[in-house]
Amino acid sequence: MSVALGLTRPLVVRTTLVGDPGDLLARLPEAAPYAWIRRGEGLVAWGEAARVAVPPGPGRFDWARRWLSAILGEAHVDDGVGVPGSGPVAFGSFTFDPDAHGSVLVVPQVVLARRGGRAWLTTVGDEHLDLVTPPADPGRIRYGDGSLTAPEWEHAVALAVRQIRSGRLEKAVLARDLTAVAERPIDVRLLLSRLASRYPECYTFSCAGLVGATPELLVRRTGETIESLVLAGTVSRGTSQADDDARGAGLFASEKDRYEHTCAVESVREALAPLCAELTVPTEPELLVLPNVQHLASPVTGRLADGASVLDVVAAMHPTAAVGGTPTHTALDVIRELEGMDRAGYAGPVGWIDARGDGEWGIALRCAQIEGPRARLFAGCGIMGDSDPAAELAEAQAKLRVMQYALEG
């Protein structure tokens, strides 16, 4: 089986407790780093013990789960820690569109992790501690239009509003992209450090060139317990405390934003209910305040009924109404008609899974795809029947500033 999977022999995996490594991101070598960090805890990784391009199609998550089961099931594992994220771990990034190419799973050679006061190191095969060099600054950044100019994107929003008012659908999430070109190759580690420092409440991630800091936890599985954080409804931060408070109160009272949030919560409820023996969904959202925006947020918890892995839950949940729309199939058709671009990994699931099926996956928001000195930045907005194109453009620009800050410092 290992040969069929592209391996000459089963993986040999060893996990041991280590002393506090300090700043996890500072331990990453330059080459192709992987990361999942929040409030200084999580996992960083490097090297590739196994990698696969996940075939596109409606069964891609099931295919990925079977591939991982075969790879990790044959591995010789010495795990002296035995917690979520110890033993062999795979990082993954899936495209937003199930029919698009670009989904990937990687089992790194080295994983360094810290959670709950304990730290551990996992190695696959021989010790592979690469030389750590200081992150390099990319130099001057030049920005350009992505698939659509700002006026063209506003026109797309207006067309979506027209279709919503006609009754074709209730909500569509339209994404916008920008291109960026640096003087020198972009060091992903610099972006990760800036994002983790400025947005500690977000999940700072890196997988196969996709880098960002997402506020949206799609799902965390720890044994039978799952957690999800639903975000929908956004307003920019104010220029003063009073302005900020007023904006938050306005968001909370906004009929448009509350309805958009309700649609997103209901889509998560419908996806999780068949998998859960218990499911707790708040009746009222709360405000999540980030450095650049405020969101309506609803934390959802549940207990799995049949021991499904975290990837099974991801498969059931993606795409949520928060990144697609309502109803889903119609919204996806409208997205394909109006966005004029391939989202690639933007708004797709990104995260990690271990051999027990535990893991954490977020929705790849506030992110960019990095390749050498080039970056493609993404942001999206939920469009409703009373959406104003100019206001939606301003919201998208506020979200794009997250990655612009990461690039420029």
180 belongs to a structural domain? yes
Q: Is a pLDDT exceeding 90 seen at residue 403?
A: yes
Looking at the structure of the chain, the number of domains it has is 1
Q: Is a pLDDT exceeding 80 seen at residue 130?
A: no
Alpha carbon distance 269, 281 (integer Å):
7
Q: Is a pLDDT exceeding 90 seen at residue 292?
A: no
292 belongs to a structural domain? yes
Share of the chain above pLDDT 90, in %: 85
What confidence score (pLDDT) does residue 32 get?
84
3 belongs to a structural domain? no
CA-based angle 31:375:191, to the nearest 5?
A: 55
What confidence score (pLDDT) does residue 306 get?
84
Bridge partners for 110 per DSSP? 46, 123
Query: DSSP secondary-structure letter at 397?
Result: H
Residue 339: active-site member = no
Question: Mean pLDDT, to the nearest integer, of 338-365?
Answer: 96
What confidence score (pLDDT) does residue 77 get?
96
178 belongs to a structural domain? yes
Number of residues in the chain: 409
- Reading the block at residue 190, the tokens are 């610099």
Catalytic residue among 48, 154, 170, 171: 171
Pairing of strands 225-236, 217-222: antiparallel
- Reading the block at residue 140, the tokens are 């001057």
What confidence score (pLDDT) does residue 89 get?
97
Q: Are 364 and 212 in contact (CB under 8 A)?
A: yes
- Angle between helix axes 60-73 and 310-317 (nearest 10 degrees) is 170
Residue 2: closest CA among 50, 54, 65, 62: 50
Continuous segment of H or E residues that includes residue 70: helix 60-73
Residue 307: closest CA among 224, 377, 388: 224
Q: Are 409 and 402 in contact (CB under 8 A)?
A: no
Residue 59 confidence class, pLDDT cut points 50, 70, 90: very high
2 belongs to a structural domain? no
63 belongs to a structural domain? yes
Residue 171: active-site member = yes
Share of the chain above pLDDT 70, in %: 97
139 belongs to a structural domain? no
Neighbours of 193 (CB within 10 A): 20
- What count of Cα atoms within 13 Å lies in the side-chain half-sphere of residue 287? 19
Question: Mean pLDDT, to the nearest integer, of 103-112?
Answer: 97
Question: Mean pLDDT, to the nearest integer, of 18-25?
Answer: 96
Q: Is a pLDDT exceeding 90 seen at residue 267?
A: no
Question: Mean pLDDT, to the nearest integer, of 325-349?
Answer: 94
| 376-391 residue pLDDT tens | 999 999 999 999 999 9
Alpha carbon distance 399, 394 (integer Å):
9
Alpha carbon distance 32, 26 (integer Å):
14
What confidence score (pLDDT) does residue 2 get?
47
Q: Is a pLDDT exceeding 50 seen at residue 1?
A: no
- Angle between helix axes 241-253 and 255-272 (nearest 10 degrees) is 60
**What CATH number is associated with residue 168?**
3.60.120.10
Enclosing domain of residue 204: 12-133+144-408
What confidence score (pLDDT) does residue 256 get?
87
Residue 263 confidence class, pLDDT cut points 50, 70, 90: confident
Which residue type, as a one-letter code, is found at position 283? T
Alpha carbon distance 340, 159 (integer Å):
13
Rounding to the nearest 10 degrees, give the CA dihedral for residues 254, 279, 68, 80.
Answer: 110
Instruction: Give DSSP secondary structure letters for 11-65.
Output: -EEEEEEE---SSGGGG--SSS-EEEEETTEEEEEES-SEEEEPPPSTTHHHHHH
Q: Are 77 and 13 in contact (CB under 8 A)?
A: yes
Q: Are 13 and 124 in contact (CB under 8 A)?
A: yes
For the chain, give the mean pLDDT: 93
Catalytic residue among 41, 152, 170, 216: 216
